[in-house]
């Protein structure tokens, strides 16, 4: 059970549960049993029964394993704070910067990082210890600490018993080549594919994940366990099932991607999408591109009526109404539009944009 976005409180039941928070700043609890909690992106809190001393704590890669005295085992992933019913909490730092921030507020202010503070640290590229200390000293609560040196403020950081430190690599950046492959899912990753024609391959099918477009990135959540990945500057998500999601970076690419549905009633293959994007980048005459679609489809031999109905069916998943059919027939008969450009017209309609979920337009509106 889980949430796909927003700042949520999500709870498991008795028994062995998988609970995840998705994007946002979440509070998760597994309840009784052996539970797996995944906070996903954001600053997330796991609520555990009892107190810290009731648990044996181990680190398994990017996961925190809590074994209760009664034998129950909980596995936590992408959790920033473990909150117990009584006694001290346990902060989980996925980077040195997070450890510094946790240490400063715990040691000198006697509290935990707020959600806003934790989120700021997670999303502060290029920061370092001195900047974090400067911001800390500017807090009203830290007014009496202005004379402390950095060394004094950070004394005891490396052996602070209330901070669990993980050696996590969360940000991945590609290069200039055309990259294609799988990425491990578990810890939430921020992936910038870089330049080139890049394809993220994924096991299973489209139904196993939730895709959410956030400005110029795509957030991927695996529904099985809540594992997340934020993807930027990629061109395709290719599933082992054969389903493909085309990531278009401008309106023309968006139309091109939808034309595969319009003419072929399927997603573009990896090779076709790369070839089509290259044709656009090389300013190939649109008529040549449209001729390729017409010549490789099975629509050439259809009369106008059947052709129009095929375009509507394959693009919009419905038949043209009588009014639509008459209008499009008149346009063709009067020479107002060619058959190829009628396909473009339909593929560029608001209805097509809304219905064809295998093409996502990033970096701007439709």
- Give the β-pairing of 55-60 and 36-38: unpaired
- 77 in Cβ contact with 60 (< 8 Å): no
State how far the Cα of 56 lies from the Cα of 54, in Å rounded to an integer: 7
- 281 in Cβ contact with 289 (< 8 Å): no
H, E, C per residue of the chain: CECCCCCCEEECCCCCCEEECCCCCCEEECCCCCCEEECCCCCCEEEECCCHHHEEEEEECCEEEEEECCCCEEEEECCCEEEECCCCCEEEECCHHHHHHHHHHHHHHCCCCCHHHHHHHHCCCCCCHHHHHHHHHCCHHHHHHCCCCHHHHCCCHHHCCCEEECCCCCEEECCCCCCEECCCCCCCEEEECCCCCCEEEECCCHHHEEEEEECCEEEEEECCCCCEEEEECCCEEEECCCCEEEEECCHHHHHHHHHHHHHHCCCCCHHHHHHHHHHHHCCCCHHHHHHHHHHHCCCCCCCHHHHHHHHHHHHHCCCCCHHHHHHHHHHHHCCCCCHHHHHHHHHCCHHHHHHCCCEEECCCCC
Output 174-178 pairs: Cβ under 8 A, ≥24 positions apart: 174/198, 174/233, 178/274
pLDDT number for residue 79: 96
Per-domain residue ranges for the chain?
Answer: 9-165, 171-242, 248-361
pLDDT number for residue 365: 40
> Tens place of pLDDT for every residue, the chain, 366 residues?
555 555 556 655 666 788 888 777 889 888 778 889 999 888 999 999 999 999 999 999 999 999 999 999 999 999 999 999 999 999 999 999 999 999 999 999 999 999 999 999 998 988 899 999 999 999 999 999 999 999 999 999 999 999 999 988 888 999 889 999 999 888 999 999 999 999 999 999 999 999 999 888 999 999 999 999 999 999 999 999 999 999 999 999 999 999 999 999 999 999 999 999 999 999 999 999 999 999 999 999 999 999 999 999 999 999 999 999 999 999 999 999 999 999 999 999 999 999 999 999 987 443
pLDDT number for residue 145: 96
Give the count of alpha carbons within 13 A of 291, CB side only. 6
Across the beta sheet with 180-181, the strand order is: 180-181, 199-202, 236-239, 244-248, 359-361
pLDDT number for residue 31: 79
The dihedral sign for the CA sequence 192, 193, 196, 200: negative
Question: What is the per-residue burial (b if ≥16 Cβ within 10 Å, else e) of 107-133?
Answer: bbeeebbebebbbbbbeeeeeebeebb
- Give the β-pairing of 81-84 and 73-77: unpaired
pLDDT number for residue 16: 73
pLDDT number for residue 314: 98
Tokens describing residue 35: 């539970």
pLDDT number for residue 366: 37
State how far the Cα of 17 lies from the Cα of 168, in Å rounded to an integer: 25
């Amino acid at each position: 059970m889980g949430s796909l976005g927003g700042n949520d409180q999500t709870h498991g039941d008795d028994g062995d549960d998988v609970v995840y928070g998705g994007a946002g700043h979440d509070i998760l609890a597994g309840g009784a049993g052996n539970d797996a909690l995944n906070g996903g992106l954001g600053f997330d809190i796991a609520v555990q029964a009892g107190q810290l001393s009731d648990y044996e704590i181990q680190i398994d890669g990017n996961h925190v394993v809590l074994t209760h005295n009664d034998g129950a085992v909980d596995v936590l992933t992408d959790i920033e704070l473990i909150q117990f019913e009584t006694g001290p909490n346990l902060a989980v730092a996925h980077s040195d910067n997070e450890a510094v921030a946790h240490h400063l507020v715990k040691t000198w202010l006697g509290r935990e990082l707020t959600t806003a503070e934790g989120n700021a640290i997670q999303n502060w590229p290029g920061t370092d210890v001195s900047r974090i200390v400067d911001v800390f000293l500017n807090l009203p609560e830290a007014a009496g600490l202005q004379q402390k040196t950095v060394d004094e403020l950070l004394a005891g950081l490396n052996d602070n018993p209330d901070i669990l430190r993980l050696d996590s690599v969360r940000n991945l950046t590609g290069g200039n080549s055309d990259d294609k492959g799988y990425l491990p899912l578990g810890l939430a990753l921020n992936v910038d594919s870089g330049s080139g024609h890049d394809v993220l391959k994924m096991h299973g099918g489209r139904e196993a994940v939730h895709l959410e477009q956030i400005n110029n990135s795509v957030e991927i959540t695996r529904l099985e366990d809540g594992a997340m990945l934020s993807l930027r500057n990629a061109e395709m998500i290719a599933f082992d099932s054969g389903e493909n999601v085309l990531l278009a970076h401008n309106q023309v690419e968006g139309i091109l991607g939808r034309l595969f549905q319009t003419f072929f009633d399927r997603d573009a293959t990896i090779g076709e999408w790369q070839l089509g994007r290259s044709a656009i980048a090389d300013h190939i005459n649109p008529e040549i591109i449209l001729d390729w679609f017409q010549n490789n489809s099975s629509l050439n031999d259809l009369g106008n009526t059947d052709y129009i109905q095929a375009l509507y069916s394959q693009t919009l998943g419905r038949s043209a109404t009588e009014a639509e059919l008459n209008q499009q027939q008149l346009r063709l008969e009067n020479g107002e539009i060619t058959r190829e450009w009628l396909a473009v017209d339909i593929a560029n309609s608001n209805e097509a944009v809304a219905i064809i979920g295998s093409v996502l337009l990033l970096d701007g509106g439709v």
